[in-house]
Amino acid sequence: MNVALRTDAETYCDALLRPGNTNCAGCGMSLGLRWLDEALGGEKPFMVIPACCGIVTAGAFPTSAYGAPTAASTFASAPAVASGISAVADLNDEDSVTVCWTGDGGTYDIGIATLSAAAERNENILYICYDNEIYGNTGGQRSSATPEGVRTSTTPRGKSERKKDMMAIMIAHRIPYAATLSIAHRDDFLRKVRVARKTRGFRFLLLLSPCPTGWKAEAEQSVDLIDAAVRCGLFPLYEVFDGVRYRINVRPDGTPVDQYVAGQRRYTGIHTDGSALHARIDEQWRLLNVLAEAFPADGRSA
């Protein structure tokens, strides 16, 4: 028998996220990048990564943990740089995919004007935010993605403001495709990335990405935590086409929110005792249900 065996090194060199990257154990981004790779079927995207943990992931020059051409942009510029890259690809009739891989700081905060503008222009970009609800790269400061009641190094007594609803903001741009992603729902994740790949124009994917360091949670619990976040209804899995056609992918199943919160020592209990969180979840679902019923995707609302 003459079977050509690939060494681990060869296999991993082809991977979008290679071994030797600097991600912490349990980082949601690692699974997100591997599934992105799988969903793209090995096609190499152009990666644009602003200042965030995701660029530290690459490692130090001359090594690169990314198995794809990658540009490290300035913090607020990923969608602008990606606009230039995808514009030139289009000018040259190249069917390539330009991916912005960004944290919540670059998405919800410093980069939101650039992001909004690229979405409004409907640039041909696949934008993925791995939202760990914190400035993880600088050691865990609040962002506008940080939920209320959560302790960070700049909200030592718990954040008093609510998390920004980034999906609603992006949907309001009437972009061709917006969806949420979970590292506990692999089939749903892969399908949505494939839908996004086939869609032309601006596509926004929001991945709730656990950060064991910042969330003060156990690394091996990351997938279970996200599973709980989806089941309890705190992080709805849904997708929206053209900003007006909604599809809910996973509905809450009665899992108590404590299953999500109790596993993280970042929650202080302020603003987030059981009843307050349940009220937030109820409100979120009432709104989502109204929209999904009024504007179903092809009449196939879940």
Partner 1 sequence: MPRALVTGNHAAGHALAVAGEANRCARGCAGGAYPITPQTEIIEFLRDYSFTRGRIVPVESEHSAMGVCIGASLAGARAFTASSSNGLAYMTENVFAAGYYRLPIVMIAVNRTLGPPWNIWVDQGDSLALRDAPWLQFYTESHQDLVDTILLAFRVAEDPRVLLPALVAMDGFVTSHTQMVVDLPELSQVDRYLPACRVPHQLRRDHAVTFGGLTWPRETERHRRDIQQAMEQVPQVLAEAIDEFEKVFGRRPHGAISAEHTADAETVLVACNTMARTLRGVVGARRRKGERIGMIKSKLFRPFPRAAILAATAAAKRVGVLDRNHSPGSGGIFWQEIAATLHARPDVLVQDYLVGLGGGDVTPQIIDEIIDDLARRTAAADPVWKEVAA
Residues that bind partner 1 (CB under 8 A): 44, 46, 48, 55-56, 58-62, 64, 66-74, 76-77, 79-92, 96, 113-114, 116-117, 121, 123
Q: Which backbone phi and psi does 288 adopt, to 5 degrees?
A: -65, -40
The number of residues in the chain equals 302
Nearer to partner 1, 80 or 229 (CB): 80
Query: Regarding beta strands 237-241 and 245-250, do their DSSP bridges make them parallel or antiparallel, or are they unpaired?
Result: antiparallel
Q: How far is the CB of 65 from partner 1 (least distance, A)?
A: 8
Tell me which amino acid residue 190 is: L
Q: How far is the CB of 21 from partner 1 (least distance, A)?
A: 11
Nearer to partner 1, 50 or 212 (CB): 50
Nearer to partner 1, 37 or 133 (CB): 37
Q: How far is the CB of 103 from partner 1 (least distance, A)?
A: 16
Which residues, at least 6 apart from 272, have a Cβ–Cβ distance to it below 8 Å? Answer: 147, 148, 149, 150, 261
Q: How far is the CB of 175 from partner 1 (least distance, A)?
A: 16
Q: Which residue has the tokens 């999906």?
A: 167
Q: Which backbone phi and psi does 72 adopt, to 5 degrees?
A: -90, 110
Nearer to partner 1, 78 or 297 (CB): 78
Whole-angstrom Cα distance, residue 106 to residue 103?
A: 6
Nearer to partner 1, 62 or 254 (CB): 62
Q: How far is the CB of 163 from partner 1 (least distance, A)?
A: 24
Whole-angstrom Cα distance, residue 133 to residue 149?
A: 12
Nearer to partner 1, 88 or 279 (CB): 88
197 and 41 Cβ atoms separated by less than 8 Å? no
Nearer to partner 1, 71 or 195 (CB): 71
Nearer to partner 1, 125 or 248 (CB): 125
Q: How far is the CB of 111 from partner 1 (least distance, A)?
A: 10
Most distant CA pair in the chain, distance = 66
Q: How far is the CB of 120 from partner 1 (least distance, A)?
A: 8
Q: How far is the CB of 142 from partner 1 (least distance, A)?
A: 23
Distance between start and end Cα atoms, the chain: 51
Which residues, at least 6 apart from 246, have a Cβ–Cβ distance to it below 8 Å? Answer: 238, 239, 240, 288, 291, 292, 295, 296, 297, 301
HSE-up of 119 (CA within 13 Å, CB side)? Answer: 27
- Compute the C-alpha angle 248/106/97, nearest 5°: 65
